[in-house]
Chains A and B, each alone.
Chain A
Amino acid sequence: MVNLEDLKKEAKQILKDEKVKYIIGYKKGVNGLMPVPAFIKNPEDVDKLVWDPTCVYNLTLFIVDEKRRKAREKNPDERPVAIVVKGCDSRALIVLLQEKFIDRKDVYILGVSCENTGVLDEKKLIKKLKGKKAEKVEFDEKDNFVVFTQEGKVKIPAEEILAERCLECKANSPVIYDVLLGEKVERNINNPFKSLEITEDLSEEKKWAFWKEHLDKCIRCYACRSVCPMCYCDECVVDTISFAVTADTSAEEKAQKIKWVEKSPVSSENFVYHLVRAIHLAGRCIDCGECERVCPMDIPLRLLNKKLEKEVKELFDYDAGFDPDLPSLISCFKDEDPEDFIR
């Protein structure tokens, strides 16, 4: 089991030594069960750090944020930023390193192992508790979750409320780290693409009906894009914000700015947005599940990315986020790449 005190000790030390600018971790939220991201600058504040089954968030996107912040500063502090990562989150860091978006020296990685369990899905927990309000959740030695409610303690087997992606976990322990807390435990997942089965077996018409029903609900809040650490483009396909306008830009040019997707949340535009996002994440998505967690309309977004993850593995034998020296999927090829679909 991960000892939280060890994490706090390590965090305190690197802040005292001024090795890092600040530490990105999890701290208790003011309200409710779930934690919030913490940005700890003072060694005295490390006591705020928590580590428990509610630490679902993928904090890697704040590394992307940090890069944006540095770009705006005149004399930026070149020290690295420390970050608390789980196995899945560490794969996101590897993808960012692969794409040379950040340097290895920009992050100090405090890896935390999930060992035999993972993190919970808040919605599943709420359903399980049937009205009782959870105040705290802890790991126990036997891979259960111990849930503290106002009406007393409840022990729930982890599988029943684990996040969907934890049931298909490919990396239960950080793949890259400067410090590792917890044990590296071998864990065999029989079917890493089980969640796709229901949708893949449907007929063509049923598949369409499934996706149309879900994507029609999309309100284009772009939370899925904003929470994804891999969606770091300064100008996204759906916005055209950095169209450089100079004194010489003609009215014609301004008027003919390409608009790939209309702003209104109608079915066809929602499809283009989500499909393009899925393709842009092919070979890069590491299934942290955040896109699906943050969606206010409960769209099963993870499945789109999971489908491509499966195809990428089957067609090209490629796994995202394990080797920082590997070229990214679409910037390399093999002579034996399948071409049976080509006439």
Chain B
Amino acid sequence: MEKILTKKSFPQWVKKLVSYKIYAPVEEDNHWSYEIIDNPENIDLDYPLTVLSPKKIIFPQREVLLEFETSNENKLQVKETLPNDEPTVIFGVRPCDAKSLTLTDKVFGGDFEDLYYWRRRNQSTLVGLSCNIPPSPNCFCLSVDGSPHSKEGLDILMTDLGDKYIIETFTKKGDQLINAAKNLFKNSTSKDKNNLEKIQTESEKKIRRQVKDIKKIPPKLKEMFDSPIWDEESMSCLRCGICTYLCPTCHCFDINDEIASSSPIKGKRIRTWDNCQFPDFTMHSSGHNPRPDKASRLRQRIIHKFQYFVERYQNYQCTGCGRCISQCPVGIDIIEVLDKVSDYGP
């Protein structure tokens, strides 16, 4: 359905959603972040890109997979710790972040479904917000088959029409949310629809950055495994973890046991985010490390996103949010690297 909601009524809608846990972007220090909202009056949907995408809600940085302890008779007992049943609504999801969830869906789904991921994913309703103006100076969603008003991965898409929002729902979950406060919504008029179209066309023109020739890149990368370009581009890389941790599509994880006591045995098995840019990511237990230097790790990141993922899932593993560019401490720019890749060679 398509409805209109005035900006004044927005907090009232959120107040009606009593059975849900509500997340929305909140300003903290100098950045914005998705946090749990207690007071709907505090939701400000006029915000730039958050530092961490909603990935941290669906695929949290620390997840307890199971707990184990030995009982009195020295038998090991294992307890599964799936996420709690907590219907969740996330407001203010940018289309690039929503699209990134459809990409991680492919990784955590398919032949083997990750229960922890899907529990959280299925109980979350994603309410998107169109980007009338680019929320970041480094957005390039159009280059990677995205758009500032894309509905991929969303249950609802809100677009700011000035003093009101036009609200489109695409799923049953989205409809349920509207029905919780039916009387606050009005039907949209043809004037609203025209306004929406105008805004959508304008928003695409405002995207400032683009990748030169992205279609050339996957086949080009196939030939570039041993190219010296990786060494040059990674000279200033710090081997921190900012680009991968902030990336909404990155999903590598590590599993460790955290032991509370060893006699009797008591502990938890924890899954945490891991990072291919850390030097010990590919360290083998023999001591050999196939990616010992920054060049090989930058190469891995680019080739994974723009060749391997394309071959496997027919999508670039990038939604053009620009976080890696804005937050890289030394200004390594993925668009610059990709342009150099497409220019490389004869």
Interface residues of A (CB under 8 A from B): 29-32, 34-37, 39, 57, 61-62, 72, 123, 133, 217, 219-223, 225-227, 239, 241-245, 254, 262-266, 290, 293-294, 296-298
Neighbour of B236 across the interface among A62, A123, A254, A264, CB < 8 A: A62
Q: Residue A241 contacts which of B246, B279, B286, B331 (CB distance < 8 angstroms)?
A: B279
Task: Give the Cβ gap from B119 to chain A, nearest Cβ, in Å.
Answer: 19
Determine which of A35, A220, A265 lies in contact with B331 in the assembled complex, contact meaning CB atoms within 8 Å. Answer: A35
Using known A-B contacts A37-B330, A263-B272, determine if residue A223 contacts B236 with beta carbons closer than 8 Å: no
Could you say which of B26-34, B100-108, B169-177, B298-306 contacts chain A?
A: B26-34
* A-B CB proximity, top 6 nearest: A223-B240, A36-B331, A294-B329, A241-B280, A298-B29, A226-B240
Residue B293 lies at the interface, judged by CB distance under 8 Å to chain A: yes
Given contacts A32-B331, A244-B287, 14 further A-B contacts (CB under 8 A): A30-B336, A31-B137, A32-B137, A36-B236, A36-B331, A221-B242, A222-B240, A239-B279, A245-B286, A262-B256, A263-B270, A265-B62, A296-B51, A298-B28
Residue numbers in A under 8 Å from B52 (CB-CB): 219
Are B236 and A241 in contact (CB-based, < 8 A)? Answer: no
* B269-284, CB < 8 A from A: 270, 272, 275, 278-280, 283
Q: Residue on A with the closest CB to B238?
A: A226
- Write out the residue numbers on chain B whose beta carbons fall within 8 Å of the beta carbon of A31: 137-138, 209, 325, 331, 333, 335-336
Determine the chain A residues whose CB is within 8 A of the CB of B138 once the complex forms. Answer: 31-32
Which A residues touch B332, using CB under 8 A?
A: 36
Question: Does the CB pair A227–B238 fall under 8 Å?
Answer: yes
State A123–B31 Cα separation when bound (angstroms): 10
User: Could you pull out 16 A-B pairs where Cβ atoms are within 8 angstroms?
Assistant: A30-B331, A34-B331, A35-B331, A37-B330, A62-B235, A221-B242, A222-B241, A222-B278, A225-B240, A239-B278, A239-B279, A241-B283, A244-B287, A294-B238, A296-B51, A297-B31
**Interface readout for B252-295 with A: 1 if CB under 8 Å, 0 if not?**
00101010000000000010100100111001011100001100
Residue B61 lies at the interface, judged by CB distance under 8 Å to chain A: yes
Q: How far is the CA of A342 from the CA of B283 in the complex (A)?
A: 44
Chain B hits for A219, CB < 8 A: 52, 61, 245
Residues of B within 8 A of A37 (CB): 235-236, 330-331
User: In angstroms, how far is the closest chain A Cβ from the Cβ of B318?
Assistant: 16
Given the complex, which residues of B lie within 8 Å of A296, measured CB to CB?
31, 51, 242, 245-246, 327
Contacts of A57 in B (CB 8 A): 330
CA distance A123 to B51 in the complex (A): 15
Q: How far is the CB of A291 from chain B (nearest CB, A)?
A: 10
Residues of B within 8 A of A217 (CB): 28
Which residue in chain A gives the minimum CB-CB distance to B279? Answer: A241
Report whether over half of chain B's contact residues are helix, strand or loop; otherwise say mixed.
loop
0/1 interface trace, chain B 201-223, chain A, CB 8 Å (1 if under) = 00000000100000000000000
Q: Which residues of A sit under 8 angstroms from B331, Cβ to Cβ? A: 29-32, 34-37
Q: How far is the CB of B111 from chain A (nearest CB, A)?
A: 28
**With A245-B285, A298-B28 in contact, is A30–B61 under 8 Å at CB?**
no
Docked complex Cα distance between A286 and B103 (Å): 44
CA distance A222 to B280 in the complex (A): 13
Closest to A29 in B: B331
Q: A220 contacts which chain B residues (CB < 8 A)?
A: 241
Q: Are B280 and A223 in contact (CB under 8 A)?
A: no
Contact for B239 among A34, A226, A290, A298, CB less than 8 A: A226
CB-CB under 8 A from B209, the residues of chain A are: 31
Instruction: Find chain A residues with CB under 8 A from B287 CB.
Output: 242-245
- CB < 8 Å: which of A239, A254, A264, A266 contacts B280? A239
In the complex, the answer to whether A264 meets B238 with C-beta atoms within 8 Å is no
Query: How distant is the Cα of A7 from the Cα of B139 in the complex, in angstroms?
Result: 35
Report the Cα distance A297→B323, complex, angstroms: 13
With CB as the reference atom, state the residue of chain A lying closest to B236: A37
How far apart are the CA atoms of A35 and B333 in the complex, in Å? 12
One of A221, A241, A243, A264 near B62 (C-beta < 8 A):
A264
B contact residues around A290 at 8 Å (CB):
329
CA distance A108 to B52 in the complex (A): 41
Contact for A294 among B240, B245, B325, CB less than 8 A? B240
Residues of A within 8 A of B256 (CB): 262-264
Which B residues lie within 8 Å of A264 (CB)?
Answer: 61-62, 256, 258, 270, 272
A36 lies within 8 A of B330 (CB): yes
